[in-house]
Amino acid sequence: MAREAAFLSRDAMRALVEEGRLKRVDILLTHSKGSLIGRLIRFGTKSYWNHAALVYVLRDTDKGYQQTFIIESGGEGIDIHNISRFLGSGRRTDVAVLSLEAPWFQEDLQRYIRGLALQEIDAKYDYGMILTLGRWLMRQFVLGFVYGFLRFKPEGLRRVRRPRLARALRVDSYICSGFVQWAYYEGVRGYLKDGGKLAEASLEEVIFNPEVEAEADEETLLSTTPADLAQTPRLTWKYLVKDGAVWEIAHRDQVAAILSGKTKPPRAP
């Protein structure tokens, strides 16, 4: 029988960052409270989660890194932010930390995936102010309108396909979870092509979207939703921050009880 979820702290930054519990390219899922866009995404995908990001740089005071940073796809493209953006928000944001725990998923491959994700950060600087505004408006349209209607589709079809105009303008910033899936898949594929010593089957182990096949097209990769990342058995649930309380997860079945409030943290002294 799996051990119970362990309550760690009411200080997420200390428990996860300062005490070194995160690893490079861990996946963060977030539930943004008070966000209309977040509500529409959750409504459309029937998921508790509305955003996804990757751990980019780990806190290492010996190397001069005083904080941990994430890389994510947002309103203006690919950006790097302090992880306190989520973990330091108190009760305003719930956060899940998921890891790929395959034995072959070692540090050199993690760095390769991170480097691939970083290459995308320059894309947002290729456009003028007017086009940047147009991309932002298109993103708001997709999030606010398209996601809401996903709820009425069959479960396997609840994902966004970029409108033709969005593709023409390279409006890809709204697909946060698609960026995560793309980085993992293309990172492993690129690593193999560059002579990395991995079994070919490892590429299948980084497919989190049930629609993606062995030879995936970019459009399908980018259609990955936060719900896909939350539901895939290929990722391991490690930590959960709910209403500011930090839990170490022993088994994914414990997540629902914490999110519903059936499992509560101890009373503060």
Give the per-residue SS3 of 210-262: CCCCCCCCHHHHHCCCHHHHHHCCCCEEEEEEECCEEEECCCCHHHHHHHHCC
CA dist., res. 57 & res. 45, Å (int): 30
Distance CA 28, CA 96 (A): 6
**Residue 265 in domain:** no
Give the pLDDT of residue 171.
37
User: Cα–chain-centroid distance for residue 25?
Assistant: 9
Tokens in use for 178?
Answer: 């698609």
SS (H, E, C) 179-205: HHHHHHHHHHHHHHHCCCCCCHHHHHH
The dihedrals phi and psi of 237, each to the nearest 5 degrees, come to -75, 125
Residue whose token pair is 């936060």: 226
pLDDT of residue 26: 98
Flag whether 269 is in a domain. Answer: no
Number of domains in the chain: 1
User: Tell me, what's the pLDDT at 153?
Assistant: 65
Q: Write down the pLDDT at residue 79.
A: 86
267 inside domain? no
For the chain of 269 residues, list the mean pLDDT of each consecutive stretch of 10.
83 95 97 85 85 90 78 79 92 96 92 89 46 48 60 61 46 68 93 79 87 78 89 97 96 95 86
Looking up tokens 């989520």 gives: 86
Q: Are the CB atoms for 25 and 57 separated by under 8 Å? A: no
Quote the pLDDT of residue 188: 93
pLDDT of residue 148: 60
Domain residues for the domain of 217 are 6-260
103 is a domain residue: yes
pLDDT attached to residue 152: 61
No. of helices (H) and no. of strands (E), the chain: 11, 8
CATH of the domain at 245: 3.90.1720.10
> Does residue 268 belong to any structural domain of this protein?
no
In a domain, 129, yes or no: yes
Query: Is 1 a domain residue?
Result: no
**Is residue 50 domain-resident?**
yes
